[in-house]
Amino acid sequence: MILTGDKEFYKGIGSIKYEGKESDNPFSFKFYNPEKKVMGKSMAEHFKFAVAYWHSFCGQGGDPFGPGTQQFPWDSSSDPMQRARDKADAAFEFITKMGFEYFCFHDVDLVDEADSLSENEKRLHEIGEYISQKKQDSGVKLLWGTANCFSNPVYMNGAATNPDFNVVARAGAQIKMALDLTISLGGENYVFWGGREGYMSLLNTDMGRELDHMAQFLVMARDYARSRGFKGTFFIEPKPMEPMKHQYDFDAATAIGFLREYGLEKDFKLNIEVNHATLAQHSFEHELTVAANAGMLGSIDANRGDNQNGWDTDQFPVNIYEVTEAMLVFLQAGGLKGGGINFDAKIRRNSIDLEDIFHAHIGGADTFARALLTAEKILTSSKFTSLRNERYASFDNGQGQEFENGSLTLEDLSDIALKSKKPNRISGKQEFFENIINQFI
Which stretches of the chain bind Co ion, using CB under 5 A?
273, 301, 344
Q: Phi and psi for 260 in degrees, rounded to 5?
A: -70, -40
Coil vs helix vs strand at 417: helix
* Residue 109 annotated as catalytic: yes
* Cβ 264 to ligand XUL shortest distance, Å: 18
239 touches which of Co ion, ligand XUL, none (CB within 5 to 8 A by kind)? ligand XUL
Respond yes or no: is residue 276 known to be catalytic: no
Given the residues 86, 107, 109, 301, select the one marked as catalytic.
Answer: 109
Closest by Cα among 231, 235, 302 to 270: 235
Q: What does the alpha-carbon distance between residue 359 and residue 367 come to, in Å, rounded to a whole number?
A: 12
Task: Pick the closer one to ligand XUL by CB: 210 or 301.
Answer: 301
In contact, 219 and 173? CB cutoff 8 Å:
no
Closer to ligand XUL by CB, 59 or 363: give it.
59
Residue nearest to ligand XUL (CB): 193
Residue 82 is which amino acid?
Answer: Q
Residue 245 DSSP class: S
Spacing of C-alpha 281 from chain mean position = 18
Smaller CB separation from Co ion, 54 or 224: 54
Q: Which residues contact 263 (CB under 8 A, 6 or more apart)?
A: none
Instruction: Kindly state the smallest distance separating residue 191's Cβ from Co ion, in Å.
Output: 8
The interaxial angle of helices 320-332 and 284-293, nearest 10 deg, is 10
Q: How far is CA 367 from CA 321, 327, 335, 371, in A?
A: 10, 11, 17, 6
Residue 42 pairs in a beta bridge with 37
Cα–Cα dist 183/18, whole Å: 33
**Residue 93 interacting partner from ligand XUL, Co ion, none (CB closer than 5 to 8 Å by kind):** none
In this structure, are residues 317 and 305 in contact, taking their beta carbons and an 8 Å threshold? Answer: no
Integer Cα distance of 335 and 339 in angstroms: 9
Q: Peptide bond preceding 243: is omega within 30 degrees of 0, i.e. cis?
A: yes
* CB closer to Co ion out of 251 and 344: 344
DSSP H stretches of helix in 185-251: 207-227
Comparing CB distances to ligand XUL, the nearer of 3 and 191 is 191
Binding site for ligand XUL (CB under 6 A): 106, 146, 191, 193, 237, 239, 273, 301, 312, 344
Least Cβ distance, residue 421 to ligand XUL (angstroms): 53
Closer CB to Co ion, 146 or 374, in the complex: 146
Find the catalytic residue in 46, 55, 106, 213. Answer: 106
Please measure the distance between the N-terminal and C-terminal CA atoms of the chain and give it in whole angstroms: 33
Query: For residues 257 and 264, what is the distance between their CA atoms, to the nearest angstrom?
Result: 10
User: Which residues are part of the catalytic machinery?
Assistant: 106, 109
